[in-house]
Amino acid sequence: MNRFMYFISGVSGCNAAALALRGLLSRFSDRGTLLEHQVVEWRDGPGGNGCCVALGREIPEYLPDAQVWTNCGSYALCMARDMQPGPSDLERPVGFAGHSITLLDGKEWRVPMLRQWDGVKCEFVSSLPKALRPAPDAAGVVSLRQCVIASCQPLDALGAEIQSAFCAQAQWTVERMFAAVASVLSENYRIGADEIAHLGLIDQALGLRVLGLSVDEPTVAEHAAMSAAAGLHFTEVPRG
């Protein structure tokens, strides 16, 4: 199993709180369940004394010649030089359906679909898990409505943000785009922006493409193509 190893210098051990403090908890947990991982103290690690945390039962070893290390600030990230982890190594056991895309590593990654194109209504709808929730209407009458579950609402907000950006052809910085891609991919894979960068998965185009896939761009394109094939053209109604 190809995996990432995380070295936290200056500490002899690391728990979930320490991982969360450094933004690494999502790499070692799935939907709130902490996965099996190893924490090993290294006296001569890449940054000196510290501990290494890695998933699986295998005890991580510090092998500078066979490993590629990247300093990520609060921790150092490492992967085997000739056996970098791929989608199959990082994929979460339970993820979100979506379109797949081949990234720069030559491997196919499944992008969680945050929005789905409704070809009938011609609008984007959330494709995240929903459940019935009491929701009062404007008149104060409480009724049960299908709402995105609470744990997915941040992701749903991200989907709305991406949708709005595409619809409005908004100007985003690359960093914002990259962070959005990392957030999207982290839903199906135990990776973050550092891992994506370390693996060299995306460029700008692929980044946009990933975000496009997250809002069901292929279906929209297909709908557009079908409309074009059917000779349907939008004619703007003169305002007045």
Partner 1 sequence: MGSQVLTMTFDAETQKFVSNVLKAKDALEATAKTGTDMGDKIAAAGDKALKATEKMKLGSETAGVSVASLASNWLSMGAAVSAAAALWNEHLEKMKAKADALRQSNDSLVKSLAPSGQTSELPQVRAQLGTIQSTLFAPQDVRDIYGKITERGGREFTTEEKLAATRQAVRAGAAGHEDTGGFGADFLQIQKQMKAGGVNLKENEIGSLVAQLQKSKAGGLDEQDIRLLGHDNDKFRALDLIAARGRSREAAKQVNALESEALEDPSAELLEKARKHKHKLTDEDKRKLRLGEIAPGDRIGAILNDPSLVPERQRLLVSNLARNLHAGEFREAASGNALGNEIGDVQQLRREDAKTEAAYRAREIEVRGKTVLERNNFKALNDQNFRENRSVENAEATGRDPGTVADIQATIGKLKDSLLLGPVVDLLKEIAELNKKGNGHLEDIKSKTPTTNSRIAPHPLEDR
Which parts of this chain interact with partner 1 (CB under 8 A)? 122-123, 162, 165-175, 177, 204, 208, 211-212, 217, 220-221, 223-225, 227-228, 233-234, 236-237, 239
Looking at residue 55, the DSSP 8-state letter turns out to be E
Q: How far apart are the first and last CA of the chain?
A: 65
Q: How far is the CB of 195 from partner 1 (least distance, A)?
A: 21
Task: Return the structure tokens found at 127.
Answer: 């494709």
Which residue is it, tokens 């006296």?
43
Nearer to partner 1, 149 or 225 (CB): 225
In contact, 15 and 34? CB cutoff 8 Å? no
Task: Return the structure tokens found at 21.
Answer: 């403090």
Nearer to partner 1, 18 or 158 (CB): 158
Nearer to partner 1, 94 or 120 (CB): 120
Q: How far is the CB of 104 from partner 1 (least distance, A)?
A: 17
Q: How far is the CB of 44 from partner 1 (least distance, A)?
A: 37
Distance (Å, whole) CA 154 – CA 114: 11
Q: How far is the CB of 172 from partner 1 (least distance, A)?
A: 5
In contact, 105 and 79? CB cutoff 8 Å? no
Q: How far is the CB of 124 from partner 1 (least distance, A)?
A: 9
Nearer to partner 1, 155 or 208 (CB): 208
Nearer to partner 1, 84 or 163 (CB): 163
Task: Return the structure tokens found at 192.
Answer: 């973050």
Distance (Å, whole) CA 67 – CA 164: 41
